[in-house]
Amino acid sequence: MEFGLLLKGIVIGLSIAAPVGPIGVLVIRRTLAQGRVNGLLSGLGAASADAVYGLVAGLGVSIVMNFLLGLQFWLHLAGGLFLCYLGVRTFTSIASDKPANVQGRHLFGAYSSIFLLTLTNPITILSFIGIFSGLGLTQTSSASALTLVIGVFTGSALWWLILSSIVGLFNQRINTSSLTWINRLSGLIIFSFGAYALLSLFG
């Protein structure tokens, strides 16, 4: 395994994951409301999607890239609508300071919902294409692309681990009243991201 490529992948994964957007807000809210495991699984869903797009960009698979870019409008539309739905659902959710049930389907739902939401964001694939092109990492060999993807996933997962761990420290200090306001604020922010995404399509 090429250690230099692995490090580049880790840095790329961190740089893509770190900016706080709708995914970050969701992970923070889930960590506070449902615990660190739920928050971390949500973050790993985003890291997995980053790895998928990193693989496409690293291999320089033009057919897949063109296909995804051709679907940019519909992916953007689906992502915007889903964010609006999550925003309303988060805003109206009933807060509870009791431990959440985070077994089985709940954990899978936490992972899969963020995975799919991240995949619907065309900005993600454009970011990877731009970064990989700028660093001269496109059209790499399969082995090198795999090393990059491992690095991207590791960097992204590391960020979500750090974020969910730090936010998780405040779990015990959050009561029902605080969670209610967190739900409302998070819901408004997430809905705003979704509304902005939809307006940008027709603006």
Please tell me the predicted confidence (pLDDT) of residue 46: 92
- Please state the domain count of the chain: 1
**Secondary structure of the chain in HEC code, one letter for each residue:** CCHHHHHHHHHHHHHHHCCCCHHHHHHHHHHHHHCHHHHHHHHHHHHHHHHHHHHHHHHCCHHHHHHHHHCHHHHHHHHHHHHHHHHHHHHHCCCCCCCCCCCCHHHHHHHHHHHHHHHCCHHHHHHHHHHHHHCCCCCCCHHHHHHHHHHHHHHHHHHHHHHHHHHHCCHHHCCHHHHHHHHHHHHHHHHHHHHHHHHHHHC
Q: At residue 180, what are phi and psi to the nearest 5 degrees?
A: -60, -45
Return the exposure string of 3-42: e unless at least 16 CB atoms fall within 10 Å of the residue's CB, then b: eebbebbbebbbebbeeeebbbbbbbbbbbbbbbbbbbbb
Would the pLDDT of 97 be above 60? no
pLDDT, tens only, 128-155? 777 766 666 655 667 777 888 888 899 9
pLDDT band at 48 (very low <50, low <70, confident <90, very high): very high
Structure tokens at 128: 């990877």
Full domain range(s) for residue 195: 3-202
Residue of higher predicted confidence among 129 and 168: 168
What predicted TM-score, i.e. pTM, was given to this entire model? Answer: 0.75
**Does residue 198 register a pLDDT over 50?**
yes
